[in-house]
Structure 1
Amino acid sequence: MRTHWDRVRHAIGFEGIALVLITLVLSYGFGFEMAHIGILGVVFSIIATLWNYAYNLLFDHAMLKYSGQLQKQTKHRVAHALGFELSLLWITLPIMAWWLDISLWTALIMDLGLVVFYLVYAYLYNLAYDHVFPLPETARTSP
């Protein structure tokens, strides 16, 4: 198992690198001002972190109420992931449209692009992180 500080390093690295990549792509690729995109990225990172905490708490309460347990089956995990992404999209979409002065449709396309980016990025980041910071030997051999 990873230590607390290893998890902190992982989270900060994940958010920091993603913020830099997104800022560069959206500013150079779409012509938005870098500082403008950077601020939006920081705000979205804070929103996602806070919503993640709240959403997981709400989801766990719903699991307990409707199933009497917290053990998630595949259907629960799929519902959890889709619910989180759709609700986060619902929260961030109007903010993105307003902040960038674009239509809701354009914001939706850009936001969906961010979802795809994060799916690929999360996979690659975690693969690289595990290579650069491998698990301690005891964690790899534990059942």
Structure 2
Amino acid sequence: MSPITRRIVQAALYESIAIAVVTPTLALAFSHPPGSAFVLSAVMSTIALAWNYVFNSLFERWEASQAVKGRSLARRIAHGVGFEGGLAIILMPMMAWWLDISLWAAFVADLGLLAFFFVYTVAFTWAFDRIFGLPASAS
């Protein structure tokens, strides 16, 4: 699979699963109608999809320059922290606006999402690599 195709497939699968999990979570946690929670999830997913492509491109460029190849647990954790940390900075203002809450409340709400998505990101990339193989940058 070419690097571009790999990134597109990885991001699309990741975000599809994320929408399926986040929509009911937002609807329940913030007492929003499911339709509103779905739209918010889809908007956040679209932003995350763009960030996923950009971040993974940068990460794989960095990874290719490393002397040690492969994806150790430490490298997978670094990937998860970088991806989720950047995404949190991007999404917090949008969540505050959509949910009509303060930035602090959005930050607190985002912590729950971050906890889930941190584990999800590490597990998903591991499973994706097991199914589709490592990218050229890690081989």
Fold similarity call, TM over 0.5 = yes
Letter in 1 for 2:103: L
What are the within-5 Å matches in structure 2 for residues 1-143 of structure 1? 8=9, 14-61=14-61, 63=62, 69-70=65-66, 77-121=76-120, 123=123
CA RMSD of superposed structures (Å): 4.0
**Unpaired runs of 5+ in structure 1?**
130-134
Cα distance in 1 between the residues matched to 2:119 and 2:80: 15
Question: How many aligned residue pairs are there?
Answer: 125
**Unpaired runs of 5+ in structure 2?**
134-139
The residue that corresponds to 1:132 in the other structure is none
Q: 1:77 to 1:121 in 2, by over 3 A?
A: closer
Give the TM-score, by structure 2 length. 0.63
Cα distance in 1 between the residues matched to 2:76 and 2:120: 20
1:72 deviates by 5.8
Cα distance in 1 between the residues matched to 2:79 and 2:18: 23
The residue that corresponds to 2:136 in the other structure is none
Which has more radius of gyration?
1
Give the TM-score, by structure 1 length. 0.62
> Percent identity, aligned pairs only?
39
Cα distance in 1 between the residues matched to 2:20 and 2:68: 34
Cα distance in 2 between the residues matched to 1:13 and 1:56: 14
